[in-house]
Structure 1
């Protein structure tokens, strides 16, 4: 029951957080939004750490421990945020659920977890689902949405590497301190990358000028939900279950993400995209029923 509650909690935070990000992008640039969200996440986690342990988890040893933050939130969300801006929130949420399948395959390679024919079959079904999600954008006149889909997919691959690295650490690490350290490393890497990019292209500059109060609040709330809470709950779950098993629960994210996108943004996925989403969610659900080793 505890695992189910954790799964529902981090799925809710990631799914709804993604939709809030999509709304915030209507007024805030992708680079600025990501920096605000990460600062909000790090501030929230640091505050909790201080009140809990009376210390901040930002010493050099803590930061070295948080190196997985380079992959996520840094690389995964730098790429993913630009992808979300160019595609729909529902597409981004559903494509992100393919993380389950990538995790199955890479966990077999790097962690030696068992890879069966059934898992490969489910991976194939999920791949077809992702392809159907992108089919409409690939055939349409607006190629930007297809590029957005591909960026979200690349961000998902980075996220899998984060999970594989974190699984090796979480057995002996404190989830709260590890999350805070990873988020801090992610913030430092993101700021560094955007600083370099802004020199090459001014569109990557970070500027909070002109952001209304309601969008400030939206950015902060989405940062705490999508980064601080979601990652913390996920690492807690990762303490008790194998990587593959923890990743399978990612299939729940589209339920919250698409539902919130429909309610908040009025998005209506096409029939083909619904079929693709159902294939991804169904394959992940069936994979969740498999016994892992």
Structure 2
């Protein structure tokens, strides 16, 4: 007796489900990653408000990140071989680009709001595109130009209140905004340098050594400033928030982001960059009780529109998500 032939409808349904499941997993991963990245700004501000030195916070967080990445590094260390040029580049990315970015962003966060910091940092993807054009000689596309102009206009709206009362000395909101804005350039350099290594290297392997060099540099900075020994004075609640930043916002966030890139088109992952300022502002309102003026809300909308337009999927265009190496 002949065996019954398989039902074509059942087969097509099973095949469709097998395709859908990875996409659903990828979508969940990238949404969780962007949410965790968005919470960074509010929790950075929260820890700093607990009388923790911003640069010490950076060192503590990167120490946790490095320890969390160690098991992942051990799993992939045999699959990557770097030249001396690669090692020099990774050292530069960690010891200079990311270290400077963290110092500027965290010190700036001390003086500005977490909402402002999240909106300013969300423009990093656009800055990275222009730096890729300048440094890597990539072609500048019209959507990037239009998106960049929109984000600049949006930033001016966001910073308008601080600009009205402009005072450049330390302690003012505008001073903090300028520091965070300066960090965006450093994060862009971090992304460009990382892209050059990631073209032929494992992402987790690269991230681990970038974290090691960043951690060592921040340790030296804190030791020279005399703030390293303030670790013993940090309150338990500040340590819990720092642990959350290191384990979840940095380590888990990056793992989820790269899992999403393996399961989704990079163009779809890039579109979720528009959620970063929404999560950043939303969490800042809930955790810190911050508010935005109508002008700042308009600026936030323009920034989101600018980033969204720049990363919108187009034919024959490399997605920003493929180039980006998310900062911590």
Q: Which interval holds the TM-score relative to the shorter structure?
A: 0.7 to 0.9
- What is the match of residue 68 of structure 2? 44
Q: 1:34 aligns with which of 58, 62, 70?
A: 58
Q: CA deviation at 1:223?
A: 1.9
The runs of 5 or more residues in structure 1 that have no matched partner are none
Deviation at 1:13, TM superposition (A): 2.0
Q: Deviations over 1:60-104 (max 9, x none)?
A: 979656322234531111110001111000000000111122122
The alignment status of 1:157 with 2:181, answered yes or no, reads no
Shift of 1:192: 2.2
1:161 and 1:240 map into 2 onto residues whose CA distance is: 27
Contact map agreement 2:76 2:205 (CA 8 A) in 1: no
**Structure 2: 5+ residue stretches without partners:** 1-22, 319-328
Aligned-partner Cα distance in 1 for 2:76–2:122? 35
Q: 2:253 corresponds to which residue? A: 230
Match of 1:92 among 107, 113, 117: 117
Residue of structure 2 equivalent to 1:220: 243
Q: Is the 8 A contact 1:238 1:246 kept in 2?
A: yes
Over residues 21-51 of structure 1, what are the superposed CA-to-partner deviations in whole Å (9 max), with x where a residue is unaligned? 111111112122111111111111114434x
State the shift of 1:287 in Å: 1.6
Inter-partner Cα distance in structure 2 for 1:277 and 1:249: 15
TM-score, normalised to structure 1's length?
Answer: 0.84
- 235 and 110 in structure 1: CA distance in 2 versus 1, 3 angstrom threshold: farther
Aligned to 2:280: 257
Aligned partners of 1:242, 1:152: CA distance in 2, in Å?
31
- Check conservation: 2:102, 2:183, Cα contact below 8 A: yes
**Counterparts in 2 of 1:279 and 1:259: CA distance versus 1, 3 Å:** same
> 1:136-174: CA deviations, max 9, x gaps?
011137751101111111111111111111112223222
Aligned residues: 285
Give, in angstroms, the shift of residue 19 of structure 1.
Answer: 1.1
Q: Which is higher, the Rg of structure 1 or of structure 2?
A: 2
Deviations along 1:100-143, one digit per CA (max 9) or x if unpaired, are 22122122233343323332122111101111111101113775
Superposition pairs for residues 95-114 of structure 1, below 5 Å? 95-114=120-139
Report 1:235-250 matches (<5 A): 249-250=272-273
Counting only pairs closer than 5 Å after superposition, residues 1-293 of structure 1 correspond to structure 2 as: 1=23, 4-27=27-50, 28-50=52-74, 52=75, 64=88, 66-67=90-91, 68-140=93-165, 144-196=172-224, 198=225, 206-234=229-257, 249-291=272-314, 292-293=317-318
CA deviations 1:197-223 (Å, max 9, x no partner) are x1xxx6x55511332222211112112
Q: Alignment partner of 1:49: what SS?
A: helix
Q: TM-score, normalised by structure 2?
A: 0.76
Deviations 1:221-277 (A, max 9, x none): 112233323344556667899999976643321111111111111100111111111
CA RMSD of aligned residues (A): 3.1
